[in-house]
Chains A and B, each alone.
Chain A
Amino acid sequence: MNASSLDVAHLLAGSMVLVSFMLLYQDRMFAMLNVFALHAIVLSASVAWQAHIQNAPHLYVPAAIALVLKGIIIPIALHRVVIRLGIHRTIETAVGIGRTMLLGIGLVALSMVVMLKAAAAADPLAREDLAFALSVLLLGLLMMVTRRNAVSQIVGFMSLENGLILAATGALGMPLVVEISVAFSVLVAFIVIGVFLFRIRERFDSVDLQALDEWRGERR
């Protein structure tokens, strides 16, 4: 493995962190979905690159899943959900965008400090990949916490999951990566179908989770 292949791996993993930041400040639904598609495409490129430099052809499967399912099918499906729900105007945030970005920077710094120190003995490729992956994971979590709307929470969850796939492919020779990526795809598909069902059955007037909270048994 030469230095330039390492550099490309870092470039791709680092771009994922960057795109995660871009997700944090989107305030339009469609723009957010487009950025998420970009996130998935960068993940796919990163995984494919790992497959190439690790000489692990089975890793092309998660790369293909990321590209087709998360880069194309799910954004289109969510696009249609958003149109049908009529929520494409703005995204309600629970925390202001400026503060969210600052928190995000803090989380990335935290994951760099923790992972680079904890994995000091590990292989350099895996170590830095892991630090980037943890950043993507924490940024996804931050997005889930700071958004009220169900669709943007789903996008937050999927970007979190992209971080996991990045970590799993970075770990040299990790078994079951393909299975895990498939298992997660099932999970994501369930989430998207769930949102569809909520609407089709017209049980809720809104997918704003704050409104759902009103239905708790305690407040009746």
Chain B
Amino acid sequence: MNAFFSEFTPLTAVLIIPAVAAAVLALLPGYWLAARINVLATLATLIAALALLVERPPVGGYLFVDDLNNVFIVLTTFVGLTTAVFSASYIGHELEIGRLTPRHLRFYHAMYQLLMFAMNLALTANNIGLMWVAIEMATLTTVLMVGIYRTHEALEAAWKYFILGSVGIAMALFGTILVYMAAQPVIGEGAEAMVWTTLVARAAGFDPALLNVAFVFLMLGYGTKVGLAPLHAWLPDAHAEGPTPISAVLSGLLLNVALYAVLRFKLLLAANPAALAPGPLMVTMGLGSVIFAGFMLYRRRDIKRMFAYSSIEHMGIITFAFGMGGPLANFAGLLHMVMHSLTKSGIFFAVGHIAQVKGTQKIADIGGLTETHPMLGWGLVLGVVAIAGLPPLGVFMSEFLIITSTFARQPLLAVALVAGLLVAFGALFLRLNSLAFGEPIGSTAPVKASYVPMYIHFGLVLAAGIYLPPTLVVWFQHIAGLLG
């Protein structure tokens, strides 16, 4: 018993709590209790994640926490909690209208916790093989949840996500094997040659040619999961056809987890002076995604699909910023990632309730929301204003930092980035105008919604735009320095 408690540190808690909760929720019938346990479990995980900030556990062979992944863990568990709160009311409605059966719900809640477990495992893993397994697991659980409605569209989306995600995952594994091959002559055979902290410490001695090839595969593989163009094809379908809480978690968290994997390997390459600079590859893919997604936004007729393309755009911006590198761009990229996660999942909370009350996701069938449902309508307006990058919200600040730091170094790239952002900006406001203002279209029935998660997210984004606490700035600056 004592041995068990000594094992139960904050680090293991962020893994054990979701795993146990998944097992309990898989067995538990009844929506009311399951939804509450889901919220409680995510709350407990968040507390454990916050405890990691105070007390840093020692580096282990399989798990570790450092400054970089701590940001991701806290963000993941926080959005996991707010999404669980939103999910409770969203899923309650789906149950009422019979789109989901109680059996599906048991499955849904168990999968939700399993996804949290897989993401936390991928973030805390100190072993590149373990990280790969965790990301595969996260992919599988989301595939199952995307297909949960069992409609034509949902199954097609799940299938597409599955096949493209599997190819991406296969590429990433090949890259992982190549990293091991590069490390093995220096570190020796066995598990030690896959431990990330050891790899980084001794990367200077690795064969640079092998590392370069490995990074190309890792970038293509995990880049598919980040949703970078031209590997993004699964993303809009998966976002549009699954339950909205899953869209929120996908956009807000899972894309970040894949990006985190890319960052880890970028650091590995940076530690080897003879290896190629990963920056230009990331800048190219990021910029391509921003411009591509900006134009694609104009043709969307489905509201969730539109915001999925906006996620591609923002993941492109973040990849671009990290690809540029340097303390300022890294800082901005990190800030933008946090802001995007909060804003985009907040938007999906609003969109989920809107789609429920209107009974459709078609943009043409939704209108005049600020008049009929002021709380939801203004929430959506606030979210779109934030995501489009208008001051004084947090996204404006991070985008501004990315653009100014790029202007100072590569003016041409900055011009292209600004062009992409403006194109996306135009598309978002074009659609927002008909969605939020003008003649009310569709059902005007009152809605039983949970506004709290949505407004907490937007409130945080607004607060970050006006005032960033100095401790946060110092923390992020420190990580930005680490990222090189």
B181 and A141 contact, CB distance less than 8 A: no
Residue numbers in B under 8 Å from A161 (CB-CB):
170
Contacts A173-B184, A176-B129, A176-B130; is A160 near B213 (CB within 8 Å)? no
Q: How many interface residues does chain B have, given as a range?
A: 35 or more
Interface membership of A29, Cβ < 8 A:
no
Chain A nearest Cβ from B434, distance in angstroms: 18
Is A175 in contact with B174, judged by CB distance below 8 angstroms?
A: no
Residues 178 to 196 of chain A near chain B (Cβ within 8 Å): 179-180, 183, 186-187, 190-191, 194
Give the interface SS of chain B, mostly helix, strand, loop or mixed.
Answer: helix
CB distance from B179 to the nearest CB of A (A): 10
B185 interface contact, C-beta 8 A: yes
Give the chain A neighbours of B151 by CB distance below 8 A. Answer: 203
Judged by a CB distance under 8 angstroms, whether A168 is at the interface is yes
Cβ contact within 8 Å between B140 and A190: yes
Partner of A119, one of B143, B181, B194, B305: B181
Tell which of A120, A144, A187, A198 has the most Cβ of chain B within 10 Å: A187
Docked-complex contact A122 and B185, CB < 8 angstroms: yes
User: Interface centre among B184, B212, B299, by most A CB within 10 Å?
Assistant: B184
* A183–B133 alpha-carbon span in the complex (Å): 7
Contact flags (1/0) for A15-56 with B, using CB distance below 8 Å?
000000000000000000000000000000000000000000
Closest to B300 in A: A218
Are A198's CB and B170's CB within 8 A? no
Q: How far is the CA of A1 from the CA of B159 in the complex (A)?
A: 45
Contact yes or no, A187 B181, CB < 8 A: no
Residue of A nearest to B211 (CB): A118
Q: Does B301 contact A (CB under 8 A)?
A: yes
Total interface residues on A, CB under 8 Å, equals 48
- A130: Cβ under 8 A from any B Cβ: yes
- Which of B82-90, B161-169, B257-265 lies on the face that meets chain A? B161-169
A176 contacts B194, C-beta separation under 8 Å: yes
What separation, in Å, do the CA atoms of A68 and B408 have in the docked complex?
60
The answer, among B153, B167, B190, B299, for a CB contact under 8 Å with A157, is: B167
Indicate whether B237 reaches chain A with its CB closer than 8 angstroms: yes
Asked whether any CB of chain A lies closer than 8 Å to the CB of B156, the reply is: yes
User: Interface 1/0s, chain A 115-128, versus B by CB < 8 A?
Assistant: 10111111100100
The DSSP consensus for interface residues of chain A is helix
User: Are B305 and A218 touching (Cβ within 8 A)?
Assistant: yes
Q: Which residues of A contact B173 (CB under 8 A)?
A: 164, 168, 180
Knowing A164-B173, A171-B184 touch, does A118 contact B133 (C-beta < 8 A)?
no
CA distance A4 to B177 in the complex (A): 26
- Determine the distance from Cα of A115 to Cα of B209 in the docked complex, in whole angstroms: 9
A196 nearest CB across to chain B (Å)? 12
| A157–B174 touching, CB < 8 Å | no
Taken residue by residue from 205 to 218, chain B's Cβ proximity to chain A (1 for < 8 Å, 0 otherwise) reads as: 00101101100000
Q: How far, in Å, is B122 (CB) from chain A's closest CB?
A: 13
| Interface pair B189/A173, CB less than 8 Å apart | yes
User: Bound state CA distance, A180 and B169, in angstroms?
Assistant: 12
- CA–CA, A164 and B207, complex, Å: 21
Q: Indicate if the CB atoms of A171 and B190 lie closer than 8 Å.
A: no
Alpha-carbon separation in the docked complex, A130 to B167 (Å): 18
Q: Is the CB of B302 within 8 A of A217?
A: yes
Check if B15 is an interface residue, CB within 8 A of chain A: no
Chain A residues with CB under 8 Å of B140's CB are: 186-187, 190
Can you list, as one digit per residue, whether each of B140-160 has a CB less than 8 Å from chain A (1) or not (0)? 100100000011110110111
Report A130-159 CB contacts with B as 1/0, cut-off 8 Å. 100110010001001000001001000100
Type the 1/0 row for A193-215, where 1 means its CB is closer than 8 Å to any CB of B.
01000100101100000001101
Answer yes or no: B240 CB below 8 A from chain A CBs: yes
Q: Are A137 and B170 in contact (CB under 8 A)?
A: yes
A133-B174, A180-B133, A186-B140 given; 18 more Cβ-contact pairs under 8 Å: A118-B213, A119-B207, A137-B170, A137-B174, A141-B167, A144-B167, A153-B163, A160-B170, A164-B173, A164-B177, A167-B174, A172-B189, A175-B191, A176-B127, A176-B129, A187-B166, A198-B159, A217-B241
What residues make up the interface of B, taking CB atoms closer than 8 Å to A? 127, 129-130, 132-133, 136-137, 140, 143, 150-153, 155-156, 158-160, 162-163, 166-167, 169-170, 173-174, 177-178, 180-181, 184-185, 189-191, 193-194, 207, 209-210, 212-213, 237, 240-241, 299-302, 305, 361
Task: Sample 22 A-B pairs with CB under 8 A, ordered by A number.
Answer: A114-B213, A120-B209, A121-B185, A121-B209, A122-B181, A157-B163, A157-B170, A161-B170, A164-B174, A168-B173, A171-B177, A171-B181, A176-B133, A176-B191, A180-B129, A183-B137, A190-B140, A190-B162, A194-B159, A217-B305, A218-B301, A218-B302
